[in-house]
Amino acid sequence: MADWIADWIPLARAAILAHERVFPGHETKDAKALDLLALALSTLIPLYRRDEKTDEIERVSDELVQAGRFSRGATRLEFPDRPPLRSLMVSRAELPVALEGLLRDSLAAARLRAISPRASAQRR
């Protein structure tokens, strides 16, 4: 087992955990909602990328995150002028603080609920 596994969690999994905290009881996890949650998490904790060839972990700069768009259920960071980044990770140690930050920021949580495709469909 690679050394990074104990310290890092895939961003997509972190977005699922955030979804479970922000939308308790909603089993379906829409890919666009996970993309939005990845964006919210990226404002609270740094993102990293695992090099698939070497398993090295490197930080993704804030500028790069701001220039991209999360897609495919928080599995990719896409750009208009370069290949997408995959294998996005967050620190397992920092994630609980970020999840609590999402819940504490009631305005952000309310906005996420309001724009979630699944939540919108249930209100109709």
Domain boundaries along the sequence of the chain: 3-119
| Tokens read off for 7 | 């310290």
Could you read off the pLDDT tens digit of each residue along the chain, which spans 124 residues? Answer: 455 568 999 999 999 999 988 888 877 678 998 999 999 999 999 999 999 899 899 999 999 999 999 999 999 999 999 999 999 999 999 999 999 988 887 666 666 666 665 544 444 4
Residue whose entry in the numeric block shows the structure tokens 């750009």: 79
Helix, strand, coil percentages (3-state) for the chain, rounded to 5, are 50, 20, 35
CA distances from 69 to 1, 5, 38, 60, 88 (A): 31, 25, 10, 13, 13
pTM: 0.81
Give CA–CA dist 37/93, Å, rounded: 18
